[in-house]
Amino acid sequence: GPKKVKKLYNELKIKDIDDLKKALKKEKIREIEGFGKKTEKSIIQSIKQYEKSQDRMLINRAMETAEDIIKIIKDKAKVKKIDYAGSLRRWKETIGDIDILAVAKDSKKIMEAFTKMKDVDNVMLKGDTKSTVMLKGGIHVDLRVLPESSYGAAMQYFTGSKDHNIALRKIAIKKGYKLSEYGIYSKKSGRKLGGKTESEIYKKVGLKLVPPELRENRGEIEAAKKKKLPSLVELDDIRGDLQMHTSYSDGDNTVKEMADAAAEKGYDYIAITDHSKSERIANGMSERQIKKQWKEIEKAEKKTDIRILRGAEVDILKDGSLDYPDKILKELDIVLGAVHSGFKSSEKETTDRIKKAFENKHLTILAHPTGRMIGKRVGYKVNLDKMYEAAEDNGIILEINADPARLDLNDSHIINAKEYKVKFSLGTDAHSTSGLDNMRYGVGQARRGWLEKKDVINTKTWKQLQKLL
């Protein structure tokens, strides 16, 4: 309560959580009159919970969890509709809580199925229309059951983002409507005018339906008003995967195994892009090894339905040169350049290094262009505008790395890079056959970056791609 907060400030000059943690460590809190060991313990508990709630998880963890939960509920109870909403539906790279919405005749049964899942650690709230659980891994999940007539309005409301919804509500008010999670209403008569579908809501306020990935108040409302929303790239548009590793460097599977798994996805082609020789920790390939791999690619291609491109993820060395001589590079169908070292170099050094590499006529794609790992490292310092400009000048394609721990370029980078005449490629950077499944996260990021099919080179047919390379 506020009285206790004031006392903490007066007695120990505690202004924030860090001060509080220090005082707790020194066992200072228990000495204050009216606090004691019990209060100290409960404060520690609250801090732990607070910090846990601040944690955001990578999108793949949230997505897989949400999909599992929806499957369990569908198996155990009769549901008419069930979907995840929130930032997950917007394919944000990190997710806080998971929100699930459903329509069901018997809401008790679905709440039973939800709260009794074996992964539930703690049922925090259980009601007929809303329940909240904490899973064993510390993930919060909300489930709401709604009448069908409000489902669209609720999906709209709980998908967010907050900024998008505020902007939308303003337009609704201007037009004499009231917008809520239950529906859209006439302000004058109070009569409900829609809410069963999201399209109804957007249509009523004079907008085209905005795809969830764009709902960040970054110009999508104006675009929807002018009927100028992009027609976003879709997972089904993707005809091949342009970055993956095999047992030739640090991957788990053979060329043939990767090709078969990709063929099963319905792809027309893949690029095998193992590490170059300087990547010793990733078991980079010597020139002899890569030549051996070409033979294996040739053999594998005869036994599978898809085209296998000879590629490599070649280190961009400190001086901007590439890690294989031209005589090797010119034999490759596709050359990914990557910065894997020197993360402490200055912005100018790294920018010059990348620009120098772009001048090599064999280079096709810049892999994971900023080098960041989400929540782990920020990446190298580089002048992005200069990098995009040099990519435009040299016809270098920018990768959107679909590994959920990378997602590099990120959404706002893509939006900025699109201002230049550059194309993008999607690669999973898979190190095993299951890694190929990550393509959807790359597509999600591309959609958040407003990309259309024509912006992404691996939506092209094999023939079209050959011409481009």
Nearer to Zn ion by Cβ, of 14 and 329: the residue is 329
Nearer to Zn ion by Cβ, of 340 and 423: the residue is 340
Nearer to Zn ion by Cβ, of 159 and 401: the residue is 401
Structure tokens at 70: 């929806």
- The DSSP annotation for 206-251 comes to T-PPPPGGGTTTSSHHHHHHTT----B--GGG--EE--B--TTTT-
Q: How far is the CB of 340 from Zn ion (least distance, A)?
A: 6
Interaction site with Zn ion (CB under 5 A): 338
Q: Specify the DSSP element, H or E, that contains 5.
A: helix 2-12
Q: How far is the CB of 429 from Zn ion (least distance, A)?
A: 7
CB 74 within 8 A of CB 47: no
Q: How far is the CB of 182 from Zn ion (least distance, A)?
A: 48
Nearer to Zn ion by Cβ, of 274 and 411: the residue is 274
Strand partners, 101: 83, 144
Q: How far is the CB of 90 from Zn ion (least distance, A)?
A: 27
What whole-number distance in Å separates Cα of residue 184 and Cα of residue 204? 8
Q: How far is the CB of 444 from Zn ion (least distance, A)?
A: 20
Nearer to Zn ion by Cβ, of 338 and 456: the residue is 338
The Cα-based distances of 437 to 322, 431, 441, 456 in angstroms read: 30, 11, 9, 18
Nearer to Zn ion by Cβ, of 322 and 338: the residue is 338
Q: Which residue has the tokens 């047992």?
A: 247
Nearer to Zn ion by Cβ, of 184 and 338: the residue is 338
The Cα-based distances of 174 to 167, 184, 186 in angstroms read: 11, 13, 12
Structure tokens at 136: 């064993």
Q: Which residue has the tokens 């201002």?
A: 419
The residue of the chain with the least Cβ separation from Zn ion equals 338
CB 423 within 8 A of CB 451: no
Q: How far is the CB of 372 from Zn ion (least distance, A)?
A: 12
What whole-number distance in Å separates Cα of residue 206 and Cα of residue 172? 9
Structure tokens at 87: 């930032």
Nearer to Zn ion by Cβ, of 20 and 338: the residue is 338
Nearer to Zn ion by Cβ, of 144 and 340: the residue is 340
The Cα-based distances of 287 to 136, 217, 280, 293, 445 in angstroms read: 48, 50, 14, 10, 35
The Cα-based distances of 365 to 285, 376, 389 in angstroms read: 19, 24, 14
Q: Specify the DSSP element, H or E, that contains 425.
A: strand 424-427
Q: How far is the CB of 258 from Zn ion (least distance, A)?
A: 16
- The DSSP annotation for 114-171 comes to HHT-TTEEEEEEE-SSEEEEEETTS-EEEEEE--GGGHHHHHHHHH--HHHHHHHHHH
| Residue 424 phi, psi (nearest 5) | -125, 155
Q: Are strands 94-95 and 57-58 parallel, antiparallel or unpaired?
A: antiparallel
Q: How far is the CB of 219 from Zn ion (least distance, A)?
A: 32
Nearer to Zn ion by Cβ, of 168 and 338: the residue is 338
Nearer to Zn ion by Cβ, of 255 and 338: the residue is 338
Q: How far is the CB of 190 from Zn ion (least distance, A)?
A: 58
Q: How far is the CB of 23 from Zn ion (least distance, A)?
A: 44
How large is the C-alpha radius of gyration of the chain? 26
Q: What is the DSSP letter of 337?
A: E
Q: How far is the CB of 427 from Zn ion (least distance, A)?
A: 10
Nearer to Zn ion by Cβ, of 317 and 338: the residue is 338
Q: How far is the CB of 180 from Zn ion (least distance, A)?
A: 47
CA atoms lying within 13 Å on the CB side of residue 259: 21
